[in-house]
């Protein structure tokens, strides 16, 4: 299967190890992975800020760039969800709308691509040497459930899983929401970190770059012993494809 990696801005800039992990895991399970070097932002910041023309320009480019690939895989449910909105930007252009719909049908968040397209039993391959919890990002809600994420993270030793009390609690980031409403965002961050810290786990699996930046920054400022990792990193380490990172 010929797969393109939609790396996303935050992964490319802040979490390149996640991108490496995704490529290695996909190749491990038989995919031919390519990286279109001309890719840029998916347009979500412009779309969410009320600039549809600017978002459409980026979407148009994305549709053209990823057209040759059978499947597109991204580490971010947020960007995968944005691709699903592309068709709305071309309501009056049937050809582009069709291209947008086709791209959306081929674009998948990493974990769901493994489980639903490749039939990989993620839990069978994962292992943790210490208690682990998870943060289920808001944009993941239309892609997979907290129960699914918990099942993957449980791995081969479910006794190590420490689920948060509130599995669907938002971290407060929300992109520009955290800029426009910093006090509300900060209060939501406090609630989420309190819930994660109360689990007693020090490893938090989080598959969303924006949430990870927000949560990790808050944990650092508070001195909380929480480490945040993408599921792809955990899986690559368990498969011996990446050196474990403390």
User: Taking residues 218-230, what's their average pLDDT?
Assistant: 97
Predicted local distance difference test score (pLDDT) of residue 2:
92
pLDDT digits (tens, 9 = 90+) for 82-97: 999 999 999 999 999 9
Burial readout 139-162 (b: 16 or more C-beta within 10 A, e: otherwise):
bbeebbebebbbbbbbbeeeebbb
pLDDT digits (tens, 9 = 90+) for 140-167: 988 999 999 999 999 888 999 999 999 9
Distance CA 23, CA 44 (A): 24
Distance CA 184, CA 180 (A): 9
pLDDT at 53 over 90: yes
Predicted TM-score (pTM) above 0.75: yes
Distance CA 169, CA 142 (A): 15
- Within 8 A by CB and 6+ apart from 128, the residues are 155, 157, 160, 203, 234
CB-CB contact of 25 with 241 (8 Å):
yes
- Specify the fold of 122-238: Rossmann fold (3.40.50)
- Specify the fold of 2-117: Rossmann fold (3.40.50)
- Within 8 A by CB and 6+ apart from 101, the residues are 86, 87
- Within 8 A by CB and 6+ apart from 63, the residues are 86, 96, 99, 100, 103
User: What token pair was written down for 183?
Assistant: 């006090």
Predicted local distance difference test score (pLDDT) of residue 157:
87
Q: Which residue has the tokens 């400022």?
A: 221
pLDDT digits (tens, 9 = 90+) for 116-145: 999 999 999 999 999 999 999 999 988 999
Predicted local distance difference test score (pLDDT) of residue 245:
86
Question: If you compute the radius of gyration of the chain from its CA atoms, what whole number of angstroms results?
Answer: 18
pLDDT at 246 over 80: no
What backbone torsions phi and psi does residue 37 show, to the nearest 5 degrees? -70, -15
CB-CB contact of 206 with 196 (8 Å):
no
Q: What percent of the chain has pLDDT over 90?
A: 92
Sheet holding 71-74: strands in order across?
Answer: 32-34, 2-5, 71-74, 107-109
Residues forming CATH 3.40.50 domain(s) in the chain: 2-117, 122-238
Task: Label residue 5 by pLDDT band (50, 70, 90).
Answer: very high
188 conformational bin, left if phi > 0, alpha if psi -120 to 50, beta if neither: alpha
């Amino acid at each position: 299967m010929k797969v393109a990696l939609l790396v996303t801005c935050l992964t490319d800039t802040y979490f390149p190890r996640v991108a490496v992990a995704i490529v290695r895991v996909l190749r491990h399970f038989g995919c031919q992975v390519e990286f279109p070097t001309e890719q840029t932002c998916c347009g979500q910041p412009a779309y969410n800020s009320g600039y549809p023309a600017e978002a459409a320009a980026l979407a148009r480019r994305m549709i053209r760039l990823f057209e040759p690939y059978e499947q597109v895989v991204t580490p971010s449910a947020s960007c995968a969800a944005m691709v699903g909105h592309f068709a709305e930007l071309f309501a009056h252009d049937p050809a582009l709308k069709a291209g947008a719909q086709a791209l959306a049908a081929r674009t998948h968040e990493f974990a769901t691509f493994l489980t639903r397209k490749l039939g990989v039993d993620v839990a069978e391959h994962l292992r943790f040497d210490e208690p682990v919890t998870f943060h289920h990002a808001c944009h993941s809600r239309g892609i997979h459930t907290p129960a699914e994420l918990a099942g993957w993270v449980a791995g081969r030793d479910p006794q190590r899983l420490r689920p948060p009390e509130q599995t669907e609690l938002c971290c407060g980031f929300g992109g520009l929401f955290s800029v426009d409403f910093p006090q509300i965002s900060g209060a939501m961050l406090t609630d989420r970190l309190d819930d994660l810290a109360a689990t007693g786990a020090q490893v938090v699996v989080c598959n969303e770059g924006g949430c990870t930046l927000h949560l990790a920054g808050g944990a650092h400022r508070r001195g909380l012993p929480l480490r945040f990792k993408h599921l792809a990193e955990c899986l690559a380490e368990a498969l011996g494809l990446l050196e474990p990172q403390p």
